[in-house]
Structure 1
C-alpha cells in the first residue's frame, strides 16, 4: 500500500528517474565508441578549452568546419565545461545531449499542462469521446495527460537513441520545447516572449536543420494563436520589438553563415541537387516518342513533377509503419536502434486512434499539435534520403502527445462504464498500471533494443580508433617503421610512428 501511494504521489519524479537511467546508464560504453562527428565535436571543445581556437585555428568561431561540413557551434561550447572536468572522452562529449534529453521529458510535462489551458479543460466536468459514438462524464485535472506524455517521451526509442549520442538535434529539440513553453506563457504575461525568442534563436546556432524545423514550429504557433498575438502586439508592442532584437542578435552567426557559404551539407543533401541525368531522361522520352515541352512531358515526365513525386513519397515514408514501428531509419541505420522502430510497437494502436480523438476535439491545443505533426517531416523530405530520423526528430513530440491522449481517455473509459464520475484516487489507480507497463517496456527496451544490439553488432559505426591503436601496438615490433598501411573508411594512411 505504501509503495502504491509513493508511486501515485511521486509519479513525475519516477518518470524523470527512469528517463535519466535510460539516457545515462553506461553512456560511455553504449554506443561503443565515438562516431567521427562526435569525435570532431569533442576535439573542437578540447581545442577551445586549451587555446580558444578550433581545430583550424579560428578564434572562438560560432560555426565549426568538420569533414567538409559546417556545424553551428553551440553544442561545442556546451561540451567545453564537461571536457574541462571529465577530460576528452565519450562521457564528456555525450553528456550535453543526455542532459538535454532528460530535461526535454520535464519540459514536455510543463508544456502539455500549458497547452491544456488552450484546449481540453480537464479541471472541470467535460464530455470526452474518441470515436464520437460515446461520451463519458469526466472530472479530471491537467496532471494526468502531462504525466503520461512525459512518460511516453521518457521511454521512446527515438528519444533515447538520440539522447545517448552527441546529436545537436537533441539539444535543439529541448530548446524548442522551452521556446514553445515560454511563448504560451508570454500570451498571458508578455515578458516571457523575450525568453521564448531567446530559446528559439539558440536552436539556429545549435543545429543546421533548425533553420527550417524551428521556423515550422513558430509558424504553427502564429497560425494557432494569431488572435492572442494581436492582443499582445496592441498592448505590449515594445516587448515584441525587444524579442525580435534578441532573436536577431543570437541568430546572426547562422544568418551570416549563408552569405559565407557555410551552409554545411545542405546543398549536398538537398533533393533539388539531384535532377535526373540527361541520358536517362532522353532515353525515357525516346521510348515514348516525346520531346521536352510536349503536353505529355508536362503532364507525366517533367522535372517538377519528378521532384513532387519524390517529396510526397518521402513525406509519407515518415508516417509509414516501417519507419515508425518496425525498422526505424532503414536508410541510415546509425540514426536508430537495430531491429526497432522509432517508436514503441504499442504506439501502432495508440497513435491512429489518438489522432482521431484529438481531431474530434477541435480547439487551439489540438490545432497546434496537428499542425506541428503534419509539418514536422518537411526538413527531412527535402533531402535525398527516403527517410531521415534526425531531420524528422520534431515529429516525436506531437506523436507522443497523441499517444498519451489515447492512454488517458482509454484508462478513464475503463472506470466510467457505469457513467459515474471517477475520483482522483480511482483515476490514479486506473492509470497506474499503464505507468508500470510502460516502465517495464522501457526497462526491457534499454537492454533489448539499445544495449544488446550495440554489443552484438557494430556494423553501423566506423572502427573504434582505440581498438585500432591496440592492434598497432601488437604488431609494431614485427614490421619496419613506415611500412604498415591501414585502410580506414576507404582512405589509405601510413602509420609513421611504427
Structure 2
C-alpha cells in the first residue's frame, strides 16, 4: 500500500474511533443532564425563542445564570442543536462531541507540523482519541473541548503563519476566541501569547508588516469585547467565588498560625493578641496564597490525580480510573527525556516545555484547582504528546525488539482501554447517578404533564435547587421568567414564603416526617418530594406509605434506588 494512502486510511480510522467513542449512546451515558448542562440548554432555548438569555439580557457577552455569569460561546454553539433536538442530552452535548472530534484531527495536524513525523502524529492522534480525560469531556455539555479545539487551531495557524503570513490573522481569531468559551483561557491566553512572542519573535518580525497589523487588529477586535465584559460586567464573579484569594478560611488560618507562634513564647497569651514582626512576616496572606497555589500546582502532576484516582468529582472522571491509563506515566517520563535529548527544533522544544509548565497555573489559583480536570484541560494535549513521544522514542531506541515491544504496548493499551470502557458503560451509570442528577427529568415531566389536575405543583427544595431543572426539563416559556426571574413569592401554610412561577412552587414543608406530610399539603396540590426527605424506600416497601397520602409515582435512579416521589392528599 502506498504511504500516502496508508496515512489517509489511518487518519480516517482514528477519526472513526474518535467519532464512535464520543457519539455512541451520548443521550444515555452519562445518565442524565446535570444542572450546568440544563443551564446551557435553557439559555440556548431562550436565545432561540427570544434573543435573550433567561435572565433577560439581549445577546449577552456573559450569560447571567441563577448562580453565576457564564462565558458565551458554547451556549451560542448549542442553539442550533437545541433547535433540532430540544433541551435534551443530544441537544446539549452534541457540540462538545463535535468539537472533541475536531480536536483529535487538529491535534494530529499540529503534531505532524511540529515534528514532521506523520507516524508520531498518527500515534498522538490515536492516544487523544482514546484518552479517558478527553472522552469524559467530549460526552457531556462541558465547554472545554471547544476551548481546546480553538486553541489547537490557533497554534496550528500561528506556526503555519510564520511561513505564510496571510494565515496569522486566523491564529489571532482562534486564540482570541478561547476566552469566549471557558474562563481558564482568560488566564492561559496571555501566558500563551507571551510564550509565542518570546520563542518566535525573530520569525514574527520577518513576516510582512501588513499581516502583522491585520493579526493585531483581529486579536484586539476579538479579545476586547470579552475583556471588557469580564472586567466591567459579571465575568469576574465566578473567579471571585472560586479563587484562592477570596477563600474565607485564609484569615482564620493565618490567625491560628500566628497564635500558635505566640503561645510558643507565652502559653498564657489569648487569641487576638498582637503578633510580633517575625510572625507577621512568616504568616500572612501572600505566604498563604503562595503555599496554596504551590500545593495545587504540584498536585496537578501527582500520580494520584493523573493515573490513580483522577478528579474526585464523578462528573469529571470515572472514579478510580485516573485521567490517563495507569501505565502511561512511564511513557510521559520517557517522552520528557526524549524531548530534551533527541533531535527536534529547539524552539518547538522550548514552547512545549513552556506549555507543560504554564498550563496548570490558572487552575492553581483556584480552590481545589490541583485536581480539577476541567480547569486543567489545557494540560491534556502536551501530556498526550509526551506519551506518544515516549512510546515512539522507546520503540525507535529498541529497534531489535521492535515487534515484541510494540505488541506489548498494544496489549497494555487494549487491556486498559477495555477495562475503562467496562467501567464507563457498566459501572459508571450507577456510580455517578446522583452526580448527574438522574431522576429529575422523569419527576418534572410527570409533574408538568399532570399539572392540569391541580391548583399547585410544589417541588421540594430539600436536595439540589430545583429551579433550573424545572425550567429546562419543562422547556418553560422563557418570556415568562425573563422580566422577574423567580421574583414572585407566596406565603403557604406549613411552607412559609416560597418562590413561584405560575402554578409551580419551590419549597419544603415543615413536616418532621413523611407521616406528617399530608397535613402540610394544601388541597389539590401535587408535591414532588426527594427520596432523602421521605426516608423510606417506597419502591421496595410500598406498604409503609402513609394512608393519608396518595403516591402517584416513584422515580428511581438507574440503580433502582428511589430518587423522587410524587404525592398528593388522599
User: Considering the TM-score relative to the shorter chain, is it more than 0.5?
Assistant: yes
After superposition, the C-alpha distances for 1:396-422 in whole angstroms (9 at most, x for unaligned) are 1110111101111222233347xxxxx
Q: 1:286 aligns with which of 238, 255, 262?
A: 262
* Partner SS, residue 226 of structure 2: helix
Cα offset, 1:221, TM superposition: 2.1
Report the Cα distance in structure 1 between the residues aligned to 2:411 and 2:44, rounded to whole angstroms: 40
Matched, 1:240 2:198: no
Q: 2:330 aligns with which of 345, 349, 360?
A: 349
Q: Which residue of 1 aligns with 2:477?
A: none
Report the Cα distance in structure 1 between the residues aligned to 2:458 and 2:184, rounded to whole angstroms: 43
After superposition, the C-alpha distances for 1:122-141 in whole angstroms (9 at most, x for unaligned) are xxxxxxxxxxxxxxxxxxxx
**Residues 1:407 and 1:74: Cα distance change in structure 2 (over 3 Å):** same
Q: Do the aligned partners of 1:194 and 1:246 also contact (CA within 8 Å) in 2? A: yes
Q: 1:379 aligns with which of 341, 350, 362?
A: 362
Report the Cα distance in structure 1 between the residues aligned to 2:375 and 2:31, rounded to whole angstroms: 23
Write out aligned runs for 1:433-444 (5 A): 434=409, 438=413, 441-444=416-419
Q: Which residue of 1 aligns with 2:518?
A: none
Q: Which residue of 1 aligns with 2:300?
A: 318
TM-score by length of 2: 0.74
Q: Which residue of 2 aligns with 1:122?
A: none
Matched, 1:115 2:104: no
After superposition, the CA RMSD in angstroms is 3.0
Q: Do the aligned partners of 2:168 and 2:212 also contact (CA within 8 Å) in 1? A: yes
Matched, 1:328 2:306: no
Q: 2:380 aligns with which of 387, 396, 399?
A: 396
Cα offset, 1:110, TM superposition: 0.5
Q: Do the aligned partners of 1:204 and 1:254 also contact (CA within 8 Å) in 2? A: yes
Cα offset, 1:468, TM superposition: 2.2
Report the Cα distance in structure 1 between the residues aligned to 2:39 and 2:458, rounded to whole angstroms: 28
Cα offset, 1:432, TM superposition: 7.9
* Partner SS, residue 315 of structure 2: helix
TM-score by length of 1: 0.84
Mean Cα deviation higher: 469-478 or 69-78: 469-478
Matched, 1:308 2:301: no
**Residues 1:44 and 1:475: Cα distance change in structure 2 (over 3 Å):** closer
Q: Which residue of 2 aligns with 1:170?
A: 145
* Partner SS, residue 488 of structure 1: coil
Cα offset, 1:254, TM superposition: 1.2
After superposition, the C-alpha distances for 1:102-156 in whole angstroms (9 at most, x for unaligned) are 1111101110111125xxxxxxxxxxxxxxxxxxxxxxxx111101111111111
Report the Cα distance in structure 2 between the residues aligned to 1:483 and 1:243, rounded to whole angstroms: 55
Name the larger-Rg structure: 2
Cα offset, 1:252, TM superposition: 2.6
* Partner SS, residue 435 of structure 2: coil
* Partner SS, residue 237 of structure 2: coil
Q: Which residue of 1 aligns with 2:136?
A: 161
Cα offset, 1:215, TM superposition: 2.3
Report the Cα distance in structure 2 between the residues aligned to 1:225 and 1:162, rounded to whole angstroms: 32
* Partner SS, residue 60 of structure 1: coil
* Partner SS, residue 165 of structure 2: coil
Q: Which residue of 1 aligns with 2:181?
A: 206
Cα offset, 1:489, TM superposition: 1.6
**Residues 1:305 and 1:206: Cα distance change in structure 2 (over 3 Å):** same
After superposition, the C-alpha distances for 1:223-266 in whole angstroms (9 at most, x for unaligned) are 2222212222xxx1221121111122122331111112432310
Q: Do the aligned partners of 1:71 and 1:264 also contact (CA within 8 Å) in 2? A: no
* Partner SS, residue 329 of structure 1: coil
Q: Do the aligned partners of 1:204 and 1:211 also contact (CA within 8 Å) in 2? A: yes
* Partner SS, residue 391 of structure 1: coil
Q: Do the aligned partners of 1:68 and 1:264 also contact (CA within 8 Å) in 2? A: no
Report the Cα distance in structure 2 between the residues aligned to 1:196 and 1:250, rounded to whole angstroms: 11
Q: Do the aligned partners of 2:262 and 2:275 also contact (CA within 8 Å) in 1? A: no
Write out aligned runs for 1:455-470 (5 A): 455-469=430-444
Cα offset, 1:285, TM superposition: 3.8
Matched, 1:189 2:164: yes
Report how many residues are paired: 457
Cα offset, 1:455, TM superposition: 3.5
Write out aligned runs for 1:254-273 (5 A): 254-257=226-229, 258-273=231-246
After superposition, the C-alpha distances for 1:148-201 in whole angstroms (9 at most, x for unaligned) are 111111111110001111111221011000000000000000111000001011
Q: Which residue of 2 aligns with 1:121?
A: none
Q: Do the aligned partners of 2:69 and 2:234 also contact (CA within 8 Å) in 1? A: no
**Residues 1:71 and 1:478: Cα distance change in structure 2 (over 3 Å):** closer
* Structure 1 gaps, min length 5: 118-141, 418-426
Q: Do the aligned partners of 2:314 and 2:432 also contact (CA within 8 Å) in 1? A: no
Cα offset, 1:443, TM superposition: 4.5
Q: Do the aligned partners of 2:109 and 2:121 also contact (CA within 8 Å) in 1? A: yes
**Residues 1:451 and 1:45: Cα distance change in structure 2 (over 3 Å):** farther
Report the Cα distance in structure 2 between the residues aligned to 1:6 and 1:182, rounded to whole angstroms: 25
**Residues 1:446 and 1:7: Cα distance change in structure 2 (over 3 Å):** farther
Report the Cα distance in structure 1 between the residues aligned to 2:130 and 2:358, rounded to whole angstroms: 24
Q: Which residue of 1 aligns with 2:35?
A: 36
Q: Which residue of 2 aligns with 1:151?
A: 126
**Residues 1:91 and 1:395: Cα distance change in structure 2 (over 3 Å):** same
Report the Cα distance in structure 2 between the residues aligned to 1:211 and 1:382, rounded to whole angstroms: 13
